[in-house]
Amino acid sequence: MKPDPHNKGMSVIVKTVARWLKGLILLYGIYLVLYGHMTPGGGFAGGVVIACAFVLMTLAAGEDQGLSFFPKAVSSTVDSIGLLVFLAVAWVGTWWASGAFFKNVIDTPQQSYFSLFSGGTIPISNIGLGLKVGSSLFLVFTVLAAFRLIKNIDSKDEDTK
Protein backbone atom coordinates (compact mmCIF):
# COMPACT_ATOMS: atom_id res chain seq x y z
CA MET A 1 0.00 0.00 0.00
CA LYS A 2 1.23 3.47 -0.64
CA PRO A 3 2.95 5.24 2.24
CA ASP A 4 0.79 7.39 4.42
CA PRO A 5 1.30 11.00 3.37
CA HIS A 6 -0.52 12.54 6.28
CA ASN A 7 2.52 12.98 8.41
CA LYS A 8 4.39 15.16 5.96
CA GLY A 9 1.54 17.35 4.77
CA MET A 10 0.63 18.20 1.25
CA SER A 11 2.38 19.85 -1.69
CA VAL A 12 4.00 23.27 -1.69
CA ILE A 13 1.08 24.99 -3.37
CA VAL A 14 -1.36 23.76 -0.76
CA LYS A 15 0.98 24.72 2.06
CA THR A 16 1.48 28.25 0.77
CA VAL A 17 -2.20 28.91 0.19
CA ALA A 18 -3.07 27.48 3.60
CA ARG A 19 -0.51 29.70 5.25
CA TRP A 20 -2.24 32.75 3.83
CA LEU A 21 -5.77 31.57 4.40
CA LYS A 22 -5.58 30.38 7.99
CA GLY A 23 -5.12 33.92 9.28
CA LEU A 24 -8.19 35.14 7.40
CA ILE A 25 -10.33 32.26 8.60
CA LEU A 26 -9.19 32.81 12.18
CA LEU A 27 -10.04 36.51 11.87
CA TYR A 28 -13.50 35.65 10.57
CA GLY A 29 -14.05 33.29 13.47
CA ILE A 30 -13.01 35.92 16.01
CA TYR A 31 -15.34 38.42 14.31
CA LEU A 32 -18.24 36.01 14.61
CA VAL A 33 -17.53 35.52 18.31
CA LEU A 34 -17.12 39.19 19.18
CA TYR A 35 -20.06 40.53 17.17
CA GLY A 36 -22.30 37.63 18.11
CA HIS A 37 -24.84 39.80 19.83
CA MET A 38 -25.41 42.11 16.86
CA THR A 39 -25.18 40.06 13.69
CA PRO A 40 -25.76 36.37 13.04
CA GLY A 41 -23.06 34.38 14.76
CA GLY A 42 -22.29 33.85 18.38
CA GLY A 43 -20.08 31.59 20.41
CA PHE A 44 -20.91 28.31 18.68
CA ALA A 45 -20.60 29.55 15.10
CA GLY A 46 -17.36 31.39 15.85
CA GLY A 47 -15.91 28.40 17.67
CA VAL A 48 -16.65 26.08 14.75
CA VAL A 49 -14.98 28.45 12.29
CA ILE A 50 -11.91 28.81 14.55
CA ALA A 51 -11.65 25.02 14.70
CA CYS A 52 -11.88 24.94 10.89
CA ALA A 53 -8.86 27.24 10.65
CA PHE A 54 -6.77 24.94 12.81
CA VAL A 55 -7.99 21.88 10.95
CA LEU A 56 -6.87 23.48 7.69
CA MET A 57 -3.44 24.11 9.14
CA THR A 58 -3.14 20.54 10.40
CA LEU A 59 -4.23 19.03 7.11
CA ALA A 60 -1.96 21.15 4.97
CA ALA A 61 1.21 21.03 7.00
CA GLY A 62 1.02 17.64 8.67
CA GLU A 63 0.11 16.75 12.21
CA ASP A 64 3.52 17.59 13.61
CA GLN A 65 3.19 21.22 12.61
CA GLY A 66 -0.36 21.41 13.90
CA LEU A 67 0.60 19.92 17.24
CA SER A 68 3.65 22.10 17.64
CA PHE A 69 1.50 25.20 17.12
CA PHE A 70 -1.17 24.12 19.56
CA PRO A 71 -0.06 21.19 21.71
CA LYS A 72 -2.52 18.85 23.35
CA ALA A 73 -1.86 20.19 26.86
CA VAL A 74 -2.48 23.78 25.78
CA SER A 75 -5.68 22.98 23.95
CA SER A 76 -7.15 20.99 26.83
CA THR A 77 -6.31 23.87 29.15
CA VAL A 78 -7.97 26.38 26.84
CA ASP A 79 -10.99 24.08 26.64
CA SER A 80 -11.39 24.00 30.40
CA ILE A 81 -10.74 27.73 30.74
CA GLY A 82 -13.52 28.47 28.26
CA LEU A 83 -16.05 26.46 30.21
CA LEU A 84 -14.88 28.00 33.49
CA VAL A 85 -15.33 31.51 32.09
CA PHE A 86 -18.90 30.61 31.19
CA LEU A 87 -19.52 29.24 34.69
CA ALA A 88 -17.92 32.29 36.29
CA VAL A 89 -20.33 34.54 34.42
CA ALA A 90 -23.17 32.45 35.79
CA TRP A 91 -21.93 32.60 39.37
CA VAL A 92 -21.39 36.36 39.26
CA GLY A 93 -25.09 36.60 38.59
CA THR A 94 -25.79 34.70 41.77
CA TRP A 95 -23.59 36.76 44.05
CA TRP A 96 -24.86 40.12 42.84
CA ALA A 97 -27.53 41.73 44.96
CA SER A 98 -30.68 39.58 44.86
CA GLY A 99 -29.64 37.99 41.60
CA ALA A 100 -30.53 34.65 40.13
CA PHE A 101 -28.22 32.16 38.46
CA PHE A 102 -27.09 33.59 35.09
CA LYS A 103 -28.54 37.01 35.73
CA ASN A 104 -27.26 39.62 33.32
CA VAL A 105 -25.61 41.98 35.75
CA ILE A 106 -24.28 44.63 33.39
CA ASP A 107 -26.97 47.03 32.29
CA THR A 108 -26.92 48.55 28.85
CA PRO A 109 -27.78 52.24 28.58
CA GLN A 110 -30.12 53.24 25.79
CA GLN A 111 -27.66 55.06 23.60
CA SER A 112 -25.22 52.21 23.28
CA TYR A 113 -27.72 49.73 21.93
CA PHE A 114 -26.17 48.78 18.61
CA SER A 115 -22.51 49.13 19.42
CA LEU A 116 -19.85 46.60 20.24
CA PHE A 117 -19.83 47.12 24.01
CA SER A 118 -23.51 46.48 24.58
CA GLY A 119 -25.35 43.39 25.67
CA GLY A 120 -24.16 43.05 29.26
CA THR A 121 -22.48 39.77 30.00
CA ILE A 122 -23.35 38.25 26.63
CA PRO A 123 -20.02 39.03 24.88
CA ILE A 124 -18.09 37.49 27.78
CA SER A 125 -20.13 34.31 27.53
CA ASN A 126 -19.62 34.32 23.79
CA ILE A 127 -15.83 34.48 24.19
CA GLY A 128 -15.86 31.64 26.71
CA LEU A 129 -18.03 29.47 24.47
CA GLY A 130 -15.96 30.25 21.38
CA LEU A 131 -12.76 29.20 23.11
CA LYS A 132 -14.35 26.04 24.39
CA VAL A 133 -15.94 24.88 21.16
CA GLY A 134 -12.91 25.74 19.04
CA SER A 135 -10.37 23.92 21.13
CA SER A 136 -12.65 20.92 21.76
CA LEU A 137 -13.26 20.29 18.09
CA PHE A 138 -9.62 20.80 17.18
CA LEU A 139 -8.53 18.40 19.92
CA VAL A 140 -10.90 15.67 18.85
CA PHE A 141 -9.91 16.07 15.21
CA THR A 142 -6.20 15.84 16.02
CA VAL A 143 -6.61 12.68 18.05
CA LEU A 144 -8.74 11.04 15.36
CA ALA A 145 -6.38 12.06 12.58
CA ALA A 146 -3.22 10.99 14.38
CA PHE A 147 -4.60 7.58 15.21
CA ARG A 148 -2.65 4.67 13.88
CA LEU A 149 -3.92 1.16 13.76
CA ILE A 150 -1.88 -1.43 15.60
CA LYS A 151 -2.66 -4.09 13.03
CA ASN A 152 -1.52 -2.12 10.02
CA ILE A 153 1.72 -0.78 11.39
CA ASP A 154 4.50 -2.23 9.31
CA SER A 155 7.98 -1.07 8.56
CA LYS A 156 6.90 1.73 6.21
CA ASP A 157 4.86 3.43 8.89
CA GLU A 158 7.56 3.05 11.47
CA ASP A 159 9.84 5.27 9.42
CA THR A 160 7.32 8.06 9.04
CA LYS A 161 6.67 8.48 12.76
Task: Quote the least distance from Cβ 19 to another protein, whole Å.
Answer: 19
Does 47 interact with another protein (rule: CB under 8 A)? yes
Does 90 interact with another protein (rule: CB under 8 A)? yes
HSE-up of residue 71 (Cα within 13 Å, Cβ side): 3
Q: Cβ atoms within 10 A of the Cβ of 66, count?
A: 23
Q: Which of 95, 97, 98, 107 binds another protein (CB under 8 A)?
A: 107
The number of angstroms, rounded, from the C-alpha of 106 to the middle of its chain's C-alpha atoms is 26
Asked if residues 50 and 29 have their Cβ atoms less than 8 Å apart, the reply is yes
Does 154 interact with another protein (rule: CB under 8 A)? no
Rama region for 107: left / alpha / beta (φ>0; ψ in -120 to 50; rest): beta
Radius of gyration of the chain (CA): 20
Q: Which of 10, 14, 34, 38 binds another protein (CB under 8 A)?
A: 38
List of residues 6+ apart from 66 with CB closer than 8 A: 54, 57, 58, 142
Does 41 interact with another protein (rule: CB under 8 A)? yes
Q: Which of 19, 143, 156, 160 binds another protein (CB under 8 A)?
A: 143
Binding site for another protein (CB under 8 A): 1, 4, 32, 36-45, 47-49, 51-52, 55, 59, 72, 79, 83, 86-87, 90, 101-102, 104, 107-108, 112-114, 118-122, 125-126, 129, 132-133, 136-137, 139-141, 143-152, 158, 161
